[in-house]
Structure 1
Amino acid sequence: MSAPSRDSSSTHDHDRHPHYSRGTLWLLATIAGVSVANIYFNQPLLGDFRASFPESAWLIGAVPASTQLGYALGMLLLAPLGDRFDRRLLILLQLAALGVSLIFAASAPSLVVLIAASLAIGVVSTIAQQAVPFSAELAPAAERGHAVGTVMSGLLLGILLARTVSGFVAQYLGWRAVFYASVLATVALAAIVIARLPKSRPTSTLPYGKLLGTMWHLAVENPALREAATTGGALFAAFSIFWSVLTLLLAGEPFHMGPQAAGLFGIVGAAGALAAPLAGKSADRRGPRAVISLCIGLVAVSFVVFAFSARSIAGLVVGVIVLDVGVQAAQISNQSRIYALKPEARSRVNTVYMVAYFIGGALGSALASLAWHALGWTGVCLAGLAATGLAAFSHWRGGRR
């Protein structure tokens, strides 16, 4: 009797999730990776931007800062729409807007236009925040974790490889070619979405204003969420401080390296991807707070290593590995904490967290530019340590509640 029961259950489950397949998961993973890569393409290109717009060299740091600020705005204003409208339609509309924004960036006649286009790219690159909850909707409950993990792996690969791809393309074809190539990738992806991605089922009838309002209440009513958001945002600020000026360091004495070399550091950062599953297991076993404390220490150590590596590629490589492991492991542990706060509102809780996360990244990029022009590499390392100190204070204060 048991065998027919299993077959019946499996068939019934398939009937309720007819669009769930490995191919659909990998398509969503590709959507997440290709879209999120656009907010990191500009980081290895800062030296090229400075060469193209020398009269505005002091504003170069505003390019990555505006992209990350745009991503935070997109998270706040666009991500909640997935509960209200068909996510397939939202993904297509955002891909169209992304293509237009990339064209403006590729053809920018001035740094001001490039900054404005970068802000728009950040806003509409939040497509990944539709892809991840879409995978959870399509999957049966027993496979939901696997589905979300698959799409998140695509997002992580997009983050890690974006700088590498950007650096290689810019080295041989110039920085404008990076954005034009992304336009082609965006158009191809939109065609595949039209052909292969199913529609989603909206789960809320709340008006747009009320959707946004519920996130404010979640932040106000959950001190643990505020603490996690502050800690995560400060750590991502430290992360952005380093990556935002690495190209400028490598372009000068004694390295004289182009954007390709800066892009290769993205491959080194793959250590963070290896740390993610280990961090999740450690958070389950020892508790996420202990893991986050360790991660804050690792990020602090990385900036001490950077401070002594202004003329050492080997030192920079070691520092990148320690930095990426610390930030990625802290991210996984922080998310495991916040998802347990309000299981019925995980998308909105995640939106609150990620908005703060990318605001931290934007502030970090802006601070990095100021520190670089004021005190050089030493100033950058001090800024990174200051951001890490803010993360430590937030985490310590949360533990005393």
Structure 2
Amino acid sequence: MDLTYSEEDQAFRAEVRAWLEEHLTGEWAALRGLGGAGRDHEAHDERVAWNRLLAEHGWTCVGWPTEHGGRGLSLTQQVIFHEEYAKADAPVRVNHLGEELLGPTLMAFGTEEQKARFLPRIVAVEELWAQGYSEPNAGSDLANVQTKARLDGLPGDQQSWVVDGQKVWTSNAHFSQWAFVLCRTEPGSERHRGLSFLLVPLDQEGVDVRPIEQLTGGSEFNEVFFTGARTDADLVVGEPGEGWKVAMALLGFERGVSVLAQVVGFARELEGVVDLAKANGATDDPVLRDRLAGLKVELEVMRRQAMRGLSSDDAAGPSVFKLVWASWHKRLGEVAMDVLGPAGLTTATDSGYELSRWQRLFLFSLADTIYGGSDEVQRNILAERVLGLPREARG
């Protein structure tokens, strides 16, 4: 990818930067830096309001086509927006799953009625979405989904899907109004066959959302129990039984331009650790200095790799990038704790379990190599789909 920017792109960068400087002031200034990894609970209602302000000014779904309410920005301009947003330390946005995952999936597979019903509300941040994929026995092995759905009612009448089962590690389900749920809709089917991709409202008696308390003190993840939950018969995306194809396409959208914002966020974290090391004298240790320098170099390589992956059809790109950034971020957390020294072993206050920013980074980064596709799964994908090695034996 050409890493130079045209005059038009530079003007757009100036526009984004100026808007953020003008609006991240007053009551909004207090939101800077909130909502990061392991901290999705921070000022959630206020961040929803901030996101709706973004929507009013056309700063949500910037890469969507204009006919669906987006700005139709080029890939380069989308990267610029995400970079400037991260550099401004603006609060983490609340609608990633709707904007980056479900929206593009509906554009590709949804009916016109589904697009008209859901896309405008995603753009306006009126409805938030959760992802109902993982289950207790179907995490990385998603084809083992056991949550079931059946059609209820006679053809021609008002039919609905009845959903029974359990999902787990469902990010922000306690804040969301809807979930896209992968269900088994063909009795007796196995693996990737017989699955359907349903859109299910969460605010109903048949849905029980139970937050899971994490080491970081937050509860970003949830268990979600479906017991006779219902959704309209026409809220299946794609054809019934083709849910695997839709679900895999959605995961492809997950590695979008927002990964560049992720890299910028990593850079800010690294700068913070370096500042801490300078302040407490940890830079006097040549080994720590070398580790910090190595992280800096690796981060720039990561950024170039991400840009390259966005501009090509490299099948290995998403898996390689996931492996690289997860390992890097985990090592950053370890370095942060070493910079803290003995102070990293105690909580910041005597009033309870109050973690510092760097303690929270360390604890949350331990999960980086698991969620979003574990390292083992990513390596299998590369081995089987890219290198053509024999498939792993599955029981």
TM-score by length of 1: 0.34
Larger RCO (CA within 8 A; separation ≥ 6): 1
Structure (1 or 2) with the greater strand fraction: 2
TM-score by length of 2: 0.34
